[in-house]
Amino acid sequence: MTSTVPVATSLNKFEKLKAEKDGLAVKTELEQFAQLGWEAMDETDRDHRLKWMGVFFRPVTPGKFMLRLRLPSGIITSEQMRLLGDVVQRYGDDGNADITTRQNLQLRGIRLEDVPAIFRKLEQVGLTSIQSGMDNVRNITGSPVAGIDADELFDTRDLIRQVQDLITNKGEGNPTFSNLPRKFNIAIAGCRDNSVHAEINDIAFIPAYKDEVLGFNVLVGGFFSGKRCEAAIPLNVWVAPDDVVALCEAILLVYRDHGLRANRQKARLMWLIDEWGVEKLRTAVETQMGKALLAAAPKDEILWDKRDHIGVYAQKQPGLHYVGLHVPVGRLLAADMFDLARIADVYGSGEIRLTVEQNVIVPNVPDSRLEPLLQEPLLKRFSTEPETLSRSLVSCTGSQFCNFALIETKNRALAMIKELEAELDSPNNVRIHWTGCPNSCGQPQVADIGLMGTKVRKDGKTVEGVDIYMGGKVGKDAALGNCVTKGVPCSDLKPVLRDLLIQHFGSELRQEVTTGS
């Protein structure tokens, strides 16, 4: 089945480039691009269509591409991690990897001439990066402790894998879903704490009982963009687990064929819901599925605050534990990747999990292996007991690699948190999220304190600054935060954050700061 995208009379730049040649077409041209080199190849293929393969041209570091993988549920094996470590190690100081806010990995420093060989290796270890950028479905998120959580309601791993296999044709590429009106996010939660941020996905499944059968209530239309941010709303549908894949397929087909395409700023699913109303979307989805859907269950099973999974926790399997490590702003070097792979092999079952907070979990650690694991030198940097402010720090890529960025984020976030921790005693975890521009990849609207990059005027000059968001609530009754202060120059930010932490989050000035000693 191929796309039946309606022909618009005047197409925007992106609809035009997709109509001229499907993004997936570049899959068969990679060898040719590798021989031509990034400077000589067609610019539209380089800057846009390569993203259908997960290969992102970076204008900030021309010639050094970013590779975005797909890791359903954020699960990766030690073998896969080692291979990715090999890839980034090859690029020396240019190479590293970032854990993303969708439980995924992005590799940096990639040379185009190496892409065909890298793809052959990815395939050998069962990894794919296909359809991870542009107008495709992004990495599908799920509980990072699915299958091992002592309190989980439903192990979502297999469902999430099935949805990815549908969308990508088991990693081969699927033209049925490669020309959506815009990007698309799906999350499936089987846990009690909404660890997927269901509310900010275009489709989210959250656990709910109907007539004593465990299935999912369905939310739709959540998204962030520079123009508008909305939490997902109920579709008024409950599905049994067996219908999850078919429902995803039906919603995607309805969105593909009816989603708005004229203006890219108004193309996400919520804009179609605005135009149609949620009832019409529901009817169209039923027609697509060829069957009536049940109404949503009156209540869902998200009952807890969101956990961050950092530390040591007993698994549902007796005698086994998962160990959550804090990875500062999600940045990994090749050596860290090798070390994580070794640790997973030596102490666990060779599996590693990633979280939407850009951290790592090592599952399946037996009682007897816990102590030696906690003594590993890597845990001095990737701690199981980080300080309260560092613990919940999240940051998007920022200007180091992203050309949309209005400010530097990751390095600044780390430096700022260290300075604040030196000045403050902070008894509570405070979720501070940095994002380099209004696209909100760092999700400032879900944070206790969200910092969104902007440009501001200071002393007659344009400098880097932030808009401050507060009030994001996660877990049960999740709600988006709002902008409370606009345009704070980054050079003036520390005292502003210090005051917010003292006034709202129970932090106190350390004695040595108050006495000046």
Residue whose token pair is 């400077």: 39
**Which one of residues 73, 77, 96, 104 is an interface residue with ligand SRM (CB under 6 A)?**
104
Q: How far is the CB of 254 from ligand SF4 (least distance, A)?
A: 28
Residue nearest to ligand SRM (CB): 225
The answer to whether residue 195 forms part of the interface with ligand SRM (CB under 6 A) is no
Q: Is 179 in the site for ligand SF4 (CB under 6 A)?
A: no
Distance in angstroms (rounded) separating the CA atoms of residues 445 and 63: 34
Determine which residue in the list 435, 443, 445, 507 makes contact with ligand SF4, applying CB under 6 A: 435
493-505 vs 410-423: helix crossing angle, rounded to 10: 60
Binding positions for ligand SRM, 231-250, rule CB under 6 A = none
Residues annotated as part of the active site: 68, 182-183, 436, 441-442
In whole angstroms, what is the distance from residue 104 CA to residue 98 CA?
Answer: 8
Contact between 224 and ligand SRM per CB under 6 A: yes
Dist CA 417 CA 441 (whole Å): 20
Residue 219 dihedral angles phi and psi, to the nearest 5° = -110, 150
Q: Which two three-digit tokens encode residue 276?
A: 């149609």
Interface pick for ligand SRM out of 148, 396, 451, 497 (rule CB under 6 A) = 396
Pick 396 or 456: Cβ nearer ligand SF4? 396
Stretch 135-164 residues interacting with ligand SRM (CB under 6 A)? 138-139
**Alpha carbon 327 to its chain's center:** 15
398 binds ligand SF4 (CB under 6 A): yes
Give the nearest distance from C-beta 505 to ligand SF4 in angstroms: 24
Q: Residue for token digits 């890298």?
A: 118
Residue 434 engages ligand SRM in binding (rule: CB under 6 A): no
**Pick from ligand SRM, ligand SF4, none: which does 391 bind, CB < 5 to 8 A by kind?**
none
CA dist 364 to 156, 245, 430, 435, Å?
18, 28, 29, 33
Q: Residue 121 corresponds to which tokens in the numbers above?
A: 């290796």
Q: Of 363, 368, 369, 350, which Cα lies nearest the Cα of 316? A: 363
Say whether residue 402 binds ligand SRM (CB under 6 A): yes
Q: Which stretch binds ligand SRM (CB under 6 A): 144-152, 164-172, 396-404, 414-422?
A: 396-404
Provide the mask over 441-480, with x wherever binding to ligand SF4 is found by CB under 6 A and - wherever it is not. Answer: xx--------------------------------------
Nearest to 298 by CA among 220, 243, 239, 238: 238
Which partner in ligand SF4, ligand SRM, none is near 98 (CB below 5 to 8 A by kind)?
ligand SRM
| Interface pick for ligand SF4 out of 208, 270, 437, 497 (rule CB under 6 A) | 437
Q: What would the x/- binding string for ligand SF4 be over residues 400 to 429, using CB under 6 A? A: --x-xx------------------------
Q: Does 46 bind ligand SRM (CB under 6 A)?
A: no
Helices (H) and strands (E) in the chain, counts: 16, 24
- Residue 484 vs residues 325, 436, 454, 475: alpha-carbon distances, Å: 32, 17, 14, 22
Residue 243: C-alpha distances to residues 282, 375, 499 (Å) = 15, 45, 49
Which residue of 77, 78, 80, 106 would you call a contact of ligand SRM, by CB under 6 A? 106
Interaction site with ligand SF4 (CB under 6 A): 396-398, 402, 404-405, 435-437, 439-442
